[in-house]
């Protein structure tokens, strides 16, 4: 297999770190460039000592120069903040480099909605409609042909996979959907902040951004497409004292009389060609430890007979399935590789 040169722009955060971990062992991509404005001049092992002894241990961290990166690379992973990524992405696309953007800059198809929720005017509106939303289970055929993929957010990855098939098949009522999600602390990023210090997080559990989390319109956009109509969800995120993982509990009313056995069959059929979505058997509910470090999304179903609500529980690893691993899966498709190439790791247990 001929390797394709790849670069990670913005390597110092958790998503950049996870990208490096995956790409170093990837048989199809050759990681030849990593960049950082704040850490330029160091080697990768100075930033990440766990990389000692790998092929990339002495790879230099360089200042992000799009022209130099584009000269040497065919695929670029943008792990930079929203607002910054849009112009970088446009520059790479114009130089015929394929881009997987891990920021939110191209996820929302309505630029007014983007500005409303992110507080930034979009400067590359011409690329917004071209960008493909990077959820392979739904948009795989479009990702194959894409120049620019908008990698989904971590919470949306767990929620969309949980609700999309049921809404698409008309089995779930699009009214009154409630989503309660819990995330590990790595979801808040690697920058030092008081709210994510050990003493602030350990032995505690808190909600945040209630009613205004930026991932809400992204989830609604994709779930509206599934349902074929406008809908609104009530989304409540929480921070739990663990490193990685997301557990989303979705409360929704069935559209008519339906048993969990029937729903499970529909989901299995919908995801029959999706190697990473696992429909758990009756009586078994997902746990974050079962997906740690992997691309798996585990789904469990419970019908609350007393209230008439259906409860769908979804678990993913926020850094792998919810960010960097999914970015590599998208790049696999863009490069003509098998979707699972370099992404077949089993969960880290215990």
Q: Mind telling me the catalytic residues?
A: 154
Burial of residue 247 (CB within 10 Å: 0-12, 13-18, 19+) is: buried
Cα torsion at 131, 212, 187, 302 (round to 10°)?
-90
What is the distance between the alpha carbons of residues 123 and 247, in angstroms, rounded to a whole number? 34
Question: The tokens 């209230």 sit on which residue?
Answer: 307
Q: What is the DSSP letter of 110?
A: -
Closest CA to 148 of 104, 87, 92: 92
In whole angstroms, what is the distance from residue 9 CA to residue 87 CA? 13
Phi, psi of 276 (to 5 degrees): -100, -5
Give the angle 318-93-148 at the CA atoms, nearest 5°: 35
* Measured distance CA(120)–CA(253) in Å, rounded: 36
The β-bridge partners of 60 are 43
Under DSSP, the state recorded for 150 is E
Cα-based angle 48, 50, 52 (whole degrees, multiple of 5): 95
């Amino acid at each position: 297999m001929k390797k394709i040169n790849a670069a990670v722009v913005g390597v110092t955060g958790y998503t950049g770190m996870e990208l490096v971990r995956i790409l170093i062992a990837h048989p199809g991509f050759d990681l030849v460039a990593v960049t950082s404005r704040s850490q330029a001049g160091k080697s990768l092992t100075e930033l990440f000592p766990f990389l000692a002894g790998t092929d990339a241990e002495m790879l230099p961290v360089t200042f992000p120069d799009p022209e130099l990166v584009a000269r040497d690379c065919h695929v670029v992973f943008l792990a930079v903040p929203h607002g910054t990524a849009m112009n970088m992405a446009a520059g790479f696309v114009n130089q015929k480099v394929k881009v997987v953007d891990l920021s939110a800059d191209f996820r929302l198809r309505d630029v007014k909605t983007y500005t409303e929720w992110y507080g930034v005017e979009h400067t590359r509106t011409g690329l917004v409609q071209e960008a493909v939303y990077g959820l392979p289970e739904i948009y795989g055929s479009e990702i194959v042909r894409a120049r620019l993929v908008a990698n989904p957010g971590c919470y949306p990855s767990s929620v969309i996979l949980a609700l999309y098939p049921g809404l698409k098949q008309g089995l779930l009522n699009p009214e009154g959907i409630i989503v309660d999600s819990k995330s590990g602390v790595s979801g808040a990023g690697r920058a030092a902040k008081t709210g994510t210090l050990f003493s602030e997080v350990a032995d505690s559990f808190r909600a945040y951004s209630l009613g205004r989390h930026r991932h809400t319109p992204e989830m609604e956009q994709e779930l509206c497409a599934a349902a074929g109509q406008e809908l609104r969800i009530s989304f409540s995120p929480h921070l739990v004292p663990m490193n990685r993982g997301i557990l989303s509990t979705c409360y929704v009313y069935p559209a008519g009389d339906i048993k969990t056995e029937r729903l499970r069959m529909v989901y299995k059929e919908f995801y029959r060609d999706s190697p990473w979505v696992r429909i758990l058997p009756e009586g078994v509910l997902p746990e974050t430890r079962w997906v740690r470090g992997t691309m798996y999304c585990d789904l469990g179903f419970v019908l609350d007979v007393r209230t008439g609500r259906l409860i769908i529980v979804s678990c993913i690893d926020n850094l792998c399935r919810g960010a960097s691993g999914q970015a590599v899966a998208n790049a696999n498709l863009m490069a003509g590789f098998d979707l699972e190439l370099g992404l077949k790791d089993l969960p880290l247990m215990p």
